[in-house]
């Protein structure tokens, strides 16, 4: 582990006595220099810690481009003929953006000229990688936050599960404990204190009702703030979220007392979430019920909620094979991997307003 991040977290844990897990995860992933997503080693692909769908093959992005074309462009161009605004949050190494833009350029060249692609990305290392990969697409820009837009198709892949979460545990009398981190002189250990924050309590009572005693849930307030800010900025939009997760009724099976929070290192799951801050990814399964509820509160409609495989098939993934005059074994393998090789927990949520 990098000594500097360890020192930094140790100091924080000692100073604060109780370091909320949220702060520990936020620093472990996004510390400006030593964070897992900000340091120099890329987490993606064979030499990294995990594969995401865009890493498998550009056909994932090509299917997304077809979906955007079918479900957004035609309707939008009637009202806003000059511009198609696409926004991607947390674009990783830029492969998805490249695949989407290249598909537009190849299939709808006139429309490609009207596409403005904005990336909102927190990691300077990822921004550099994205800029190198996307240099040949002229209408891409990078912004630290979403700009004011009258209309936009906004999407992300494995962005929501990369946001830091609060961890809480149910007690025998129905109250809640907040989990935090302290330093015992040798290693980081978990600590508990009564949960008093009103927003966290509200969430825990709403989504943790059915949870057995001593079980944990993750609380992702950042995603709810993110959706609120999108609603305040974009007048007409679609929000398409690809991520691991489930509706709340299926998210926390009884045999899983410590929730869904876990680490990833060298393509292996690490159950000790405090083990190597900054060295491994820390992620959780997304509570899609909370995203749908938040959408409803913002006046949005849930337009689609489906598994990734079904989404890709209905977006035309299989037709990409038959369109090719010659059989492409690499493409066939990638399609098989995208349809069968990803966990069935991979979901797609489309919301609109």
What residues make contact with ligand SAM under the rule CB under 6 A?
A: 37, 44, 52, 54-55, 89-92, 96, 120-123, 126, 157-159, 162-163
Q: How many CB atoms sit inside 10 A of residue 111's CB? A: 15
Q: Smaller CB distance to ligand SAM: residue 26 or 182? A: 26
CB of 29 to ligand SAM, least distance (A): 7
CB of 282 to ligand SAM, least distance (A): 11
CB of 337 to ligand SAM, least distance (A): 15
Per-residue tokens: 80: 């806003």
Q: Smaller CB distance to ligand SAM: residue 37 or 69? A: 37
Distance of CA 56 to the CA centre of its chain: 17
193 vs 172: CA distance, rounded Å: 14
235 vs 152: CA distance, rounded Å: 8
Q: State the angle between helix axes of 3-16 and 21-30 in degrees (0 to 180), rounded to the nearest 10.
A: 160
92 vs 159: CA distance, rounded Å: 9
Q: Smaller CB distance to ligand SAM: residue 25 or 351? A: 25
CB of 164 to ligand SAM, least distance (A): 9
Q: Smaller CB distance to ligand SAM: residue 99 or 201? A: 99
CB of 254 to ligand SAM, least distance (A): 28
For 311-342, the three-class secondary structure string (H helix, E strand, C coil) is HHHHCCCCHHHHHCCCCCHHHHHHHHHHHHHC
Q: Smaller CB distance to ligand SAM: residue 73 or 120? A: 120
Residue entry with tokens 């609380």: 219
Q: Smaller CB distance to ligand SAM: residue 90 or 208? A: 90
175 vs 170: CA distance, rounded Å: 6
Q: Smaller CB distance to ligand SAM: residue 126 or 294? A: 126
CB of 174 to ligand SAM, least distance (A): 33
Q: Smaller CB distance to ligand SAM: residue 112 or 342? A: 342
Q: DSSP readout, 207-222?
A: H-TTPPTT-EEEE-HH
Q: State the angle between helix axes of 95-107 and 124-133 in degrees (0 to 180), rounded to the nearest 10.
A: 30
Which residues, in sequence order, are CB contacts of 336 under 8 Å at separation 6+? none
CB of 82 to ligand SAM, least distance (A): 27
- Alpha-carbon torsion 130, 52, 250, 67, what sign? positive
Q: Smaller CB distance to ligand SAM: residue 201 or 219? A: 219
By Cβ distance, which residue is nearest to ligand SAM? 90
Residue entry with tokens 């989407």: 100
Quote the DSSP letter at residue 197. Answer: -
CB of 132 to ligand SAM, least distance (A): 15
CB of 92 to ligand SAM, least distance (A): 3
Q: DSSP readout, 44-68?
A: BSTTSSB--HHHH-THHHHHHHHHH
């Amino acid at each position: 582990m990098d000594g500097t991040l360890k020192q930094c977290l140790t100091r924080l844990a000692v100073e604060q006595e109780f370091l909320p897990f949220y702060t520990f995860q936020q620093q472990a992933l996004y510390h400006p220099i030593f964070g897992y997503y900000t340091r120099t080693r890329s987490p993606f692909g064979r030499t990294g810690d995990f594969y995401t769908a865009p890493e498998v093959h550009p056909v994932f992005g090509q299917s997304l481009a077809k979906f955007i074309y079918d479900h957004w462009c035609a309707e939008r161009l009637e009202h806003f003929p000059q511009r198609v605004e696409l926004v991607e949050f947390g674009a990783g190494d830029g492969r998805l953006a490249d695949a989407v833009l290249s598909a537009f350029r190849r299939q709808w060249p006139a429309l490609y000229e009207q596409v403005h692609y904005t990336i909102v990305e927190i990691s300077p290392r990822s921004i550099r990688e994205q800029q190198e990969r996307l240099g040949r697409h002229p209408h891409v820009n990078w912004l630290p936050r979403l700009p004011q837009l009258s209309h936009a198709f906004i999407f992300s892949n494995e962005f929501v599960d990369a946001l830091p979460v609060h961890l809480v545990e149910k007690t025998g009398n129905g109250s809640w404990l907040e989990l935090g981190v302290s330093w015992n002189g040798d290693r980081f250990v978990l600590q508990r204190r009564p949960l008093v924050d009103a927003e966290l309590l509200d969430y825990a009572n709403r989504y943790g009702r059915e949870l057995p005693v001593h079980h944990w849930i993750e609380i992702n307030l950042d995603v709810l703030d993110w959706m609120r800010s999108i609603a305040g900025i974009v007048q007409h939009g679609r929000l398409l979220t690809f991520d691991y997760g489930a509706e709340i009724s299926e998210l926390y099976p009884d045999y899983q007392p410590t929730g869904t929070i876990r680490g990833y290192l060298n393509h292996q799951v690490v159950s000790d979430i405090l083990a190597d801050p900054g060295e491994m990814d820390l992620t959780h399964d997304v509570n899609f019920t909370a995203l749908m509820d938040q959408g409803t509160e913002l006046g949005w409609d849930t337009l689609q909620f489906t598994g990734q495989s079904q989404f890709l098939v209905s977006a035309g993934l299989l037709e990409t094979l038959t369109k090719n005059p010659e059989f492409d074994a690499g493409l066939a393998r990638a399609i098989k991997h995208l349809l069968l090789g990803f966990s069935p927990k991979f979901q797609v949520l489309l919301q609109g307003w």
